[in-house]
Amino acid sequence: MKITLDTEARTLVEHAPGGDRSMPLYSDEAFALIADQWLRVGWNQKYQYSFSWFGRPVIQLPEDMVRTQEVIWRVQPDVIIETGVAHGGSLVFYASLCKAIGRGRVVGIDIEIRPHNRSAIEAQPLAPMITLIEGSSIDPAIVAAARAQVRTGETVLVLLDSNHSFAHVAAELEAYGPMVTPGSYIVATDGVMENLSDVPRGSPGWKTDNPSEAARRFAASHPEFVLEQPAWPFNESSLARNLTHWPDAWLRRR
């Protein structure tokens, strides 16, 4: 795709095989096209690697963090399970939200929790709210260990942020989907890979080998889940679509 942006004329032109399409620069349509390119360039330049939460690196788009906060406030989960720990920033983020609302705890799972990251997470004031489990997120023993952290009747929210291949995410959805309580979600993060197959840091295989494809197929074969963007609780704009690294990610249990 090619776009031409003219700030003096205040227009944006989308050049496509079927013909050019011109629109006002200050319009929802123009915003969507610019946002798509901003996401692609920002991802390639590792913009999401420039943030931290309470001193721990958090490799997430701030937009996705805020939208997740909205869901956590609404769902009020007792347990938040996240696969993929890395530096622990997102675990600390979720724990801080649990602390603020006076409810919930966090379970982080990773195939390798490096000693310096473990030490830094355990040194956090919020560490008592965080349980770390080391091992493959799709190993039956690790899945059982995660399930053991959930007490009868508790509300569970799951975020999948480890290995982002289609096969791995599909296996995680099957393993952790049953833990999700009605009205809550399992989230297949970073499906933006599907739209990054042609950027310099991307891979052609990502067009089909990505979390969004796994989420769509899971929803198609599991009628107890619906794939939907959670509603925005506040919106005085004319917009309705997230700027996100997580397209087709949110699976709500009916």
pLDDT at 4: 97
Compute the chain's Rg from CA coordinates. 19
Mean pLDDT on 137-166: 98
Domains of the chain (ranges; CATH) run 2-44 (no CATH), 51-253 (3.40.50.150)
Confidence of residue 209 (pLDDT cuts 50, 70, 90): very high
Structure tokens at 175: 């393993």
Segment holding 171, helix H or strand E: helix 166-176
How many Cβ atoms sit within 10 Å of the Cβ of residue 163? 17
pLDDT at 176 over 90: yes
Q: What percent of the chain has pLDDT over 90?
A: 98
CA dist 154 and 243 (Å) reads: 31
Distances (CA, A) of 74 to 216, 232, 244: 24, 11, 20
Mean pLDDT on 6-24: 96
Helices and strands counted in the chain (H then E): 7, 12
Q: Diameter of the chain by CA atoms?
A: 61
CB contact set of 102 (below 8 Å; sequence gap of 6+): none
Task: Give me the phi and psi of 2, to 5 degrees please.
Answer: -130, 135
pTM across the whole model: 0.97
pLDDT at 95 over 90: yes
pLDDT digits (tens, 9 = 90+) for 38-48: 999 999 999 99
pLDDT at 1: 79
